[in-house]
Structure 1
């Protein structure tokens, strides 16, 4: 691509960045413009305002969009397929039932939350919540005297935590791509932080609100046994399916560590083969192929029926995938314009650490426009040049990635679709949803940032 020199100073560039974000928010919130169209439009306007030569604008935008989708689309699509197979096979119900039996009636909220954490690795927030709700309702009727929040909030919070912090979910994958972080390490640290963040913001908070607000179980679903397969997989099979991509990706991370330590040679054929198998898209592809056999063909589903099940998983994630790519375009324009360098210099002058700035920007975007994905990809796109310009360790970049993710979930309220999903499905009015779910999201955000900040300071 042709080189050019930015002649604008830090002040005008930062003003352009502020105006771009403000315009994005106005278009999305006030005029209800779709986030995908908004990000593209604002990216092009930002490029013109920043003085990028007109013959380079489209190439810069398209290459940034394609560069982001190159890896993100594969991960999101394959992750959605794996989650659909687990859901469709009846594995979700089998796993939840087993955990309730293992932990006992008194620990049922903990068991349902733990099941949701495990299921939340491949299954997206809304799909996972809908899958679990019939089970939650049945358990609440049987054990909790009809109080749905005691069982529902821990489970919903578990899906939220996994969706926000753990790849292959689109938010952390997009942030990882934009920051250039190590995906295996983001996955590892995300998994480590997921349990304590959920335990406090989901389980303990769920017990508190479940005692304070008694909400009867809504009559949204029939019997939990309706529409369930007659031959669901065994619990061990479901757990193995969920662990397979993790094991393969962790294998690749371990090999990289051994190579960096000089223990193994990167030129060895076995090393190259195992490394390829551990690449995230390949690991998920292998997992989906295994799942189609184990959870599909071996249970008597094949041919067109199985193809339709897999195909049905892609439609719901198409919008998220395109928005993520458009967020990458916005970030690419900001990097090309030199705004990132100006922001990095300004942050240095203010003494505001990059990790704090990334979190605060994501929080502001989240509260203002509602979408966690838009908040995350926009904040990451804005801060990525500042991170690239700094001298940060691999683990510090991972910490910044997770801190941005933490900011993107802060205090979901009436402009967030997840707010209405949780509130309406659990039979809460707006006021109660604000007191329960909005506070949970704020707790999840603050706790997640605290863990990410600790990682940043230690490593």
Structure 2
């Protein structure tokens, strides 16, 4: 569905967007209306107020909702299945013990962040985060304290890699539009992403994790008790023995040997290896190194499609983890219990995508970018500001990246810029597309629901971290711009 021709001036459209966000926050935080209902209601009212024809409003609502669900539902569903199998078979504990053994207890959050940076090279933010959830939860349960101490470094690492480093689609599209070298953007982007993560995500996450206490979530992977979970499973959790505190009981499960570190690492690496086929081949095709018509390349791209890669990983995990000591019926029971708690997460995330989609279709983003593209400021500052305002207006980081790059392409072509300066522009645009994640961003709702935070706490933690991450990346891009 295409954006409508705006019927109001840019100022009126921006006012509508601001009022819509304010009303949404009021309904969720003050009225305590369920986030899913509030998002759908405000999306419909925003579409009506912005001048979308009444007959087109249902399509406008389904546009963002279906697009978001199409990318998120399968990823979250398959990812939680993998996570649950790792959890109940003791695989997550094995990986956590290995990480802590190598880095030490005090460096556990840093270890999780480094692992997420490595795994985040080929995989998108949402898919990487959902696969990493059981590891984050296991480490948090072992050492105690706020789950944010362990969750935010990993989530920030995935966000940093997704925004700044090819072969992720945003930086690739921006580099292509600006004529920047994808290879140089990749080589420089890796250290930029690491430094930006360390300064803007890791250090900040430790401050936020100590200031805001959030219990380890129990909805997705059960509540830990004496080394096991209090949730019945047919296959059984590693180390689940004894009774529950307070006179309750825990169903006895047969003892099992936890999988080896190699097996766990292999299961985790499988989707990343498969997904790298797709992302790397897309980059090579964009650079005309490989023909888009090559059959072998198309087959590898199919295997590397995120949903297909996770489906393959689920099947492998069933046989190398779930079937080691349990029947297929036992495994099915585990997977059923994994899917139940994620219904609300998927629906709220889809509704967040609906709200962002309405804002895009209403022409708010186009009106904003059109009024800013002619500002008489330096290209790199203009890139950051336009991308930031587009991100705030419509929520999608990828849309902000690609739109800003397209708007600046003509001016960049006329300027005499070095290859390093072109890459710095890509990083500046990515930095702007990262900051100020809020209620029109589906990633905001994923983080909020996964870690069972209310909206206010998510603003004070995730929104702050995304903003400091983006500002750190922009500061680095300014240095590169000046020396380029």
TM-score by length of 2: 0.66
Aligned to 2:342: 317
Q: Give the secondary structure class of the aligned counterpart of 1:32.
A: coil
Counterpart pick for 1:345 among 370, 385, 395: 370
CA distance in 2, matches of 1:202, 1:190: 16
Inter-CA distance 241–420: structure 2 relative to 1 (3 Å threshold): closer
Aligned to 1:172: none
The count of corresponding residues between Structure 1 and Structure 2 is: 407
Q: Give the secondary structure class of the aligned counterpart of 2:321.
A: helix
Inter-CA distance 162–304: structure 2 relative to 1 (3 Å threshold): farther
Aligned to 1:407: 436
Q: Give the secondary structure class of the aligned counterpart of 1:346.
A: helix
Aligned to 1:131: 138
Structure 1 residue 248: deviation in Å? Answer: 1.2
Structure 1 residue 58: deviation in Å? Answer: 0.9
CA distance in 1, matches of 2:89, 2:371: 53
Counterpart pick for 1:272 among 276, 279, 298: 298
Aligned to 1:90: 90
Residues 134 and 224, structure 1, Cα contact 8 Å, conserved in 2: no
CA distance in 1, matches of 2:156, 2:84: 19
| Range that drifts further, 263-272 or 193-202 | 193-202
CA distance in 1, matches of 2:462, 2:65: 33
Structure 1 residue 274: deviation in Å? Answer: 1.0
Structure 1 residue 16: deviation in Å? Answer: 1.7
After superposition, give the CA deviation of every residue in 1:20-60 in whole Å (9 maximum; x if it has no partner). 22222222222122222222112211221122211111122
Structure 1 residue 344: deviation in Å? Answer: 0.9
CA distance in 2, matches of 1:112, 1:22: 35
Structure 1 residue 233: deviation in Å? Answer: 0.9
* Residue 330 (1) aligns with residue 355 (2): yes
CA distance in 2, matches of 1:335, 1:353: 21
Structure 1: segments with no counterpart, 5+ residues:
138-147, 168-174, 366-374, 411-415, 423-432
* Residue 237 (1) aligns with residue 269 (2): no
After superposition, give the CA deviation of every residue in 1:119-157 in whole Å (9 maximum; x if it has no partner). 9945478755432233225xxxxxxxxxx68xx775344
Aligned to 1:16: 16
Structure 1 residue 105: deviation in Å? Answer: 7.0
Alignment of 1:16-35 (within 5 A): 16-35=16-35
Alignment of 1:44-443 (within 5 A): 44-103=44-103, 111=111, 121-123=128-130, 128-137=135-144, 155-162=150-157, 164-165=159-160, 196=195, 199-200=198-199, 223-224=226-227, 227-229=237-239, 230-297=256-323, 299-348=324-373, 353=382, 355-356=384-385, 359=388, 378=395, 387=404, 390-391=407-408, 400=429, 403-408=432-437, 442=464
CA distance in 1, matches of 2:74, 2:68: 11
Structure 1 residue 444: deviation in Å? Answer: 6.4
CA distance in 2, matches of 1:381, 1:203: 23
Structure 1 residue 103: deviation in Å? Answer: 4.3
Structure 1 residue 318: deviation in Å? Answer: 2.3
CA distance in 2, matches of 1:290, 1:277: 14
After superposition, give the CA deviation of every residue in 1:195-245 in whole Å (9 maximum; x if it has no partner). 5556556766788999x99x9xx9x96544785253111111111111111
Aligned to 1:446: 468
Residues 39 and 330, structure 1, Cα contact 8 Å, conserved in 2: yes
Structure 2: segments with no counterpart, 5+ residues:
121-127, 163-167, 176-182, 217-222, 230-236, 240-255, 413-421, 440-446
Structure 1 residue 273: deviation in Å? Answer: 0.9
Cα-Cα RMSD: 5.0
Residues 156 and 465, structure 2, Cα contact 8 Å, conserved in 1: no
TM-score by length of 1: 0.69
Inter-CA distance 32–189: structure 2 relative to 1 (3 Å threshold): farther
Residues 6 and 363, structure 2, Cα contact 8 Å, conserved in 1: yes
